């Protein structure tokens, strides 16, 4: 008989970035550019989305836009103050503008997008004097993983 009983192990909790990357992988499996987004407030996940422009025949159906729409619907609000957005790729200018209009508190993103980004590259939406609200921005989270997802997706599409 053992002297002690092992402590019950609890499974590790998925982080918002884990959920965003899982959503990005679902996008790739559906033939969409692999980008995932998650909206969180006070530790509660309000929305998880992935790119769906092809599926919805809608060029605005980026992961960020869909997650913002779902979070607003869940809260019954048109803005998301106090909410944080986690995305696997630097948002494009359209999504950056929507993030500002939604009054997102913090933006966390994975891979930089020197060609199509709108936050730290390209239009730099939050740096413009006409920007009404700029979230705190933190980039480079799991950057290699995000870049690899995109690189592999486009390599497979070209093959």
Q: How many residues does the chain have?
A: 159
For residue 32, indicate whether it is catalytic.
no
Q: Going by C-beta distance under 8 Å and a sequence separation of 6 or more, which residues neighbour residue 17?
A: 38, 86, 88, 108, 110, 141, 142
Please tell me the distance from the alpha carbon of residue 3 to that of residue 122, in angstroms, as a whole number: 63
User: In this structure, what DSSP letter does residue 58 have?
Assistant: -
Q: Contact, 108 vs 90, CB < 8 A?
A: no
Helix 63-75 / helix 93-101 crossing angle, nearest 10 deg: 20
Marked catalytic residue, from 32, 64, 90, 120: 64
Q: Going along 51-153, which residue ranges are E strands?
A: 83-89, 106-111, 136-138
Question: Which residues have a catalytic role annotated?
Answer: 64
């Amino acid at each position: 008989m053992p002297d002690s009983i092992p402590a019950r192990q609890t499974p590790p909790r998925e982080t918002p970035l884990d959920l965003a990357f899982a959503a990005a992988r679902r996008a790739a499996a559906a033939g969409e550019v692999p980008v995932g987004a998650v909206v969180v407030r006070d530790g509660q996940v309000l929305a998880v989305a992935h790119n769906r422009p092809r599926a919805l025949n809608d060029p605005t159906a980026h992961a960020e836009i869909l997650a913002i729409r779902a979070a607003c619907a869940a809260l019954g609000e048109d803005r998301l103050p106090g909410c944080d957005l986690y995305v696997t790729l630097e948002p494009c200018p359209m999504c950056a503008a929507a993030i500002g209009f939604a009054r997102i508190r913090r933006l966390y993103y994975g891979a930089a997008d020197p060609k199509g980004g709108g936050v730290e590259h390209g239009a730099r939406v939050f740096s413009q004097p006409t920007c009404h609200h700029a979230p705190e921005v933190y980039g480079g989270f799991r950057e290699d993983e995000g870049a690899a997802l995109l690189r592999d997706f486009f390599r497979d599409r070209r093959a």
